Amino acid sequence: NGLRVLLVSDPDAEQCAAALDVHVGYFSDPEGLPGLAHFCEHMLFLGSKQFPQENSLDAYMTSSTGFSNAFTDSEDTCFFFSCSAEALSGALERFSAFFVAPLFTEGATEREVNAINSEHLKNLQSDGFRVNQVVSSRSNPAHPNSHFGTGTIKTLLETPKARGIDLRGALLKHFQTFYRAPLMTL
């Protein structure tokens, strides 16, 4: 199916980890929806057809001395976890379900946009984030480096609604376009 995989195995390891990089980031956000790639990253944690409970992976990780997280960068979105060796099979099952059949429920949309907005407000205190914003603002507007990648309530809810843009529809299109095996590395 075109998925690139790097496997490192140690049968004596007590902890296991996995990461999946999707080779798409905020440079690929559609016009009028800055932060969509980051929003997709957040929404993937909120249930799948196989594991419909929100944060199923996080709950499993907590009970298995593990953790999970993700980040969205300019050209990549990376999801990762670490857990005990005994929990690896269940963790991989839940993790892979993100990418097979996510729910992207309407009910989680506004709440998750609020979480993204809070993340943005926290980032405003970071010197590194501010430097990136200055670089972005000085970039050629026709180049994706000028894009704002985090997203806010304004960029993901208010402005799209005023323009008649269906956020969930755009999210589904983004997922269907970019979350494919040839664009992923495990």
Task: Supply the DSSP string of the chain, one letter for each residue.
Answer: ---B------TT-SEEEEEEEES--GGGPPTT-TTHHHHHHHHHTS-BSSS-STTHHHHHHHTTT-EEEEEE-SS-EEEEEEEEGGGHHHHHHHHHHHHH-B---HHHHHHHHHHHHHHHHHHTT-HHHHHHHHHHHHS-TTSGGG---S--HIIIIIHHHHTT--HHHHHHHHHHHH-SGGGEE-
CA distance 114 to 157: 10
Given the residues 14, 31, 41, 54, select the one marked as catalytic.
41
41 tagged catalytic: yes
Quote the Cα angle for 113-119-125, to 5°: 145
Distance of alpha carbon 78 from alpha carbon 85, whole angstroms:
21
Q: Which residues form the catalytic set? A: 41
